[in-house]
Chains A and B, each alone.
Chain A
Amino acid sequence: MSQYKLVHCNINGKDVERMVDVRASLTDMLRNEYHLTSVKKGCEVGECGACNVLINGEAFNSCIYLAVWAEGKTILTLEGLEGPNGELSDIQQAFIDETAIQCGFCTPGFIMTAVEILNSGKEYSDEELRKLLSGHLCRCTGYENILRAVKKTMYKRLGKEMPA
């Protein structure tokens, strides 16, 4: 017996609503109903971070978040970072500049966590940044370039010189 529920939410700045199968994860809803394919299906048990999105400004693994819980929430995916003329955001550009990408599968998740970190407006130590980024697995880059991309953008936004 299928069970459906009408789910209203705001995705990437737009108010939307859709009938959703209650068995769906938020990953299923974002990919299948809204074609937001930056939200990757990785481990699907909340370990790898590839499906990470921001819900009301906080990072969540959408694979272990029921789609019906999105009711009334504000959701931001990587697609929502795009500028009006298709421009990349500063953190996306930093990932390119620092070669923080190889296969790219983990990248949208990492970038959305980075957005939460950067939006806090705080200055974090390397140790704190490593902990804040620890909910993502990357099998290509060795993490150092990712850390550097986030750190560089953090200092840029704070208007400070990045320590050597």
Chain B
Amino acid sequence: MYDMKALYEAESVQHAIQLRLEHPEAQIIAGGSDVLVQMREGKRAGKELISIYMIDAMRGVSIDEAENIRIGSLTSFSHITHDPIIQKYINVLGEAVDQVGSPQIRNIGTIGGNTCNGVTSADSASTLHAWEAVVELTGVNGVRRLPIKDFYIKAGVVDIRAEEGEIQTAILIPKVSYENTFGHYIKYGMRNAMEIASLGCSVNVRLSDDKQTIDRCRIAYGVAGPVPMRVPSAEAVANGSAMTEDMVNEFSLAVLNDINPRDSWRASKAFRQHIAVEMAKRALIESIHRAGGEIK
């Protein structure tokens, strides 16, 4: 038995919004792999829960009329990994979320829960930042969309207006962001399964038509700061550049200008800075290869 005060089961998005307005103190639960564990630990004990898990309309991946990739917030990590749209256009996201927890956790964990937690180590978060994902929130005043970088406010805090009954309903990847773009994610953890990232790095590139230069490069980290972050200094090195070993080295060292990791029991700041450089390099090289480019 869980120590909960009450459970409200939402049958639709509108019902969830209504429940949220009626029970402002209640915690939203999607897959529950964080919320129920925290409840078991006593952190959320005695609280009311609003379950949105049974709203099947919030599951699945599709391409909408504006050609955005639309990922329903309740889509599980394993369904993202196995989805043909994800595999075709943003395979790196499927690979990133395939490194969360364990197979059973990937069957219950949702991308909405992973982002709404607001934690920097979420395996989906750096890739969603690197692909400039858009978060869709639905509340009593309708739909609000905001760039994922604005969704994350500070560690553990995201921009959801509970007072307007908002819940996160989807994550969108705009066409301009995924078209002709190839990426790679590297997670550094102390073991392969059931481990939170010590550092996560996601890079993607779009090459020029002749595949001689990098047209656009984006890089984002998890655990390099209190929230997931882009690294503009490194992107500036790569954008418009020819693909040479010197450029790759300069790119990877430039990440140190922007990242701000901390000392924690999982890893020291110095170690995180050290592996950040190497991960940037490896992820860029792999991204270039996936895009059909060659490093000279």
Contact = CB atoms under 8 A, between A and B. Distances in A.
Interface string B110-127: 000000000000000000
Given A23-B1, A23-B2, A64-B33, A59 B104 contact: yes
Given A21-B1, A44-B40, A135-B193, A68 B104 contact: no
A69 B53 contact: yes
Nearest to A58: B107
Contact of A134 (B41, B51, B107, B194): B194
Interface of B: 1-4, 6-7, 9, 29, 32-33, 36-37, 40-41, 51, 53-54, 78, 101-105, 107-108, 192-194
Give the contact-size bracket for chain A. 20 to 34
Contacts, number: 86
B37 A134 contact: no
A19 interface: no
12 contacts: A21-B1, A24-B1, A28-B1, A45-B41, A52-B104, A59-B104, A61-B105, A64-B36, A66-B32, A113-B104, A134-B102, A135-B104
A104 interface: no
B108 A23 contact: no
A155 interface: no
A134 B189 CA distance: 15
B97 to A, nearest CB: 14
Contacts of B192: 131, 134
A88 interface: no
Contacts of B105: 46, 61, 135
